[in-house]
Chain A
Amino acid sequence: MSEQIAIYAYVLAAVLFVFALKAMASPKTARRGNLIGAVGMLIAIGVTLLAQRPEMIRDIVHGNWIPTGLTVPAITSTGWVFVIIGIVAGSLIGAFLALTVKMTGMPQMVAMFNGFGGLASGLVVFAVVFRRSAADMATEAGQTLAVTVGVSTLIGWVTFTGSVIAFAKLQGVVFSGKPVTFPLQKIANFLVLLACVGAIVVWGFAPEMRWIIIPLALLASAFGVMFVIPIGGADMPVVISLLNSYSGLAACATGFVLNNPGLIIAGSLVGASGIVLTRLMCHAMNRSLANVLFAAVGSKVADIDTERQKSVKRYTGQDGAMILANADSVIFVPGYGLAVAQAQHILKELADLLESRGTTVKYGIHPVAGRMPGHMNVLLAEADVPYEQLCDLETINPEFENTDAVVTIGANDVINPAARSDRDSPIYGMPILDVDKARTVMIIKRSLSPGFAGIDNDLFYNAKTLMLFGDGKAMLTDLVAAMKEA
């Protein structure tokens, strides 16, 4: 009986995960939803630990329950020590990381958690394989096991090493976020992936060769590194979404290994979530996934007319404050520069000042602003910006033409009108924020250097544009000071 209770409990956990994700449809219900998901996880863990009754073990040993799964999942006395060590150590590390991370470091953190998920799946299947003898594997059930374990190993280890590289790039530890390319890179990547698939196929035909899992894990780890290094900083939202999807698919594949519907459902939900986000991010850049993964965009910079750059007039915080003081409506457009400068709090202070004078304030947020989906929203929420003021691209674009002033902070490609008009531009067709339609545009930026796409921006030279050169935080501080005097 107890194995049936366990299965139903896993299904219940999966149902709670569905409700958790459904609650994410609104900021009002999202927090409760997250709690519901956590309860689901607690049920799954509790049942796993409690359901290890003797009759269940007997069933499993006799092959009545899990034909391809773990042979002896009874918790032994040394097993309890392992379980408790793992739970305590993992909880402490996880809680420490989650409670100390800064909101600006969130993309790295999510990348790292993704990696741990993939690593866990990758390790579980190792334990499954080495718990079985070669003779155990040389059966029909062993063949299915070899293939499912092979797939799980591939996805799990790719997720792990891919996430580690993504983390290192986002943290600026290696490559300073730039794409790393070498000759014949695509062919090399393809060959490694082909070798992984080949290893799984061979293993499926000869399941007694348990050692295949080791070269397979190594190849998959190499592929994880190789597929992330050619991807540049601003394409990171796509990579993180993709790795998020992989971490779900890894859990799903482990569900096939353990023959557990709870893992299959939960893993598929996460896999689907990552796929949706990946598609949204690609769409927001008007690029295909293949282009993001293989084109190594960001490694080239186009020729930029330096004579023209010299003609740009520099404005000060004083000039900007004068415009803002007379504006009835202001839209702020934050970009990655806001996160780098950690300028979200001072931005909110400026917004409060404007609102106290009766100015309408909103925020226009491009889907790929920042280094992960929704990055800017989290930063602004941290600074207590009410979420009603955070508008997405479709909502905010019709409002620019009736807006007195737009202030962009550290954004570039996502406001470049070339995306609408210049057919030869590499960003042509990308949905942009139509800030050039506002009456005045203020651009806070460190220099005229091009954005990620490596192209110049006509908007910088427009007569209604005020270029405010400087660090986002410093310039916003100037604006606030000048506003207080005005």
Chain B
Amino acid sequence: MVLPLVLAITILVLAMLLGLEIITKVPTQLHTPLMSGSNAISGITIIGALLAAGAGGWLGGSFGVLAVTAAMVNVVGGYLVTDRMLRMFKTKR
């Protein structure tokens, strides 16, 4: 399964447009949780980090283990802190 460059760029452009469309609808109240939540999504780079670390070897593996650690901080921290914030948004009792 080869993903040709042209197709990859098409995906990029369409996903960008989708992103612009969705994010424009987020109210200003939620912009901080939006940032930390989307930031956690950017931790998807963990996939590459896992492959890099998993392949072993001292040089690649060392970069890999650092990458997994950094990406995991991003993912776990990002989702937890977003949840902490969103839990606080309460309606009038």
Residues of A bordering B, CB below 8 Å: 3-4, 7, 10, 13-14, 17-18, 20-22, 24-28, 30-31, 33-35, 37-38, 41, 44-45, 48-49, 52, 64-67, 70, 72-80, 82-83, 85-87, 89-91, 93-95, 97-99, 101, 103, 106, 109-110, 113-114, 116-117, 119-121, 123-128, 130-131, 144, 240-241, 244, 247-248, 250-252, 254-277, 280, 365, 367, 372-375, 377-378, 381-382, 384, 386-390, 392
A123 touching B63, Cβ below 8 Å: yes
Bound together, the chains give a CA A149 to CA B33 distance in angstroms of 31
Bound together, the chains give a CA A374 to CA B72 distance in angstroms of 25
B67 touching A86, Cβ below 8 Å: yes
A86 touching B26, Cβ below 8 Å: no
A258 touching B73, Cβ below 8 Å: no
Cross-chain pairs A/B with CB under 8 angstroms, 24 sampled: A10-B47, A14-B15, A17-B41, A21-B41, A27-B91, A34-B82, A70-B51, A76-B54, A78-B61, A79-B54, A86-B64, A87-B72, A89-B72, A95-B77, A116-B43, A116-B73, A120-B67, A120-B71, A128-B48, A130-B63, A244-B42, A262-B44, A269-B38, A374-B30
A110 touching B35, Cβ below 8 Å: yes
**Residue of chain B at shortest CB distance from A386:** B92
Chain B interface size range: 35 or more
Residue A87 contacts which of B29, B44, B68 (CB distance < 8 angstroms)? B68
Residue B49 contacts which of A78, A120, A274 (CB distance < 8 angstroms)? A120
**Minimum C-beta distance from A342 to chain B (A):** 15
**Chain B interface mostly:** helix
Can you name 16 extra interface pairs (CB under 8 A) apart from A70-B52, A90-B70? A21-B22, A21-B26, A45-B46, A48-B50, A79-B61, A80-B54, A83-B54, A86-B66, A91-B76, A95-B77, A240-B35, A264-B8, A265-B15, A280-B31, A381-B89, A384-B88
With A113-B39, A240-B35 as given contacts, are A377 and B3 in contact (CB-CB < 8 Å)?
no
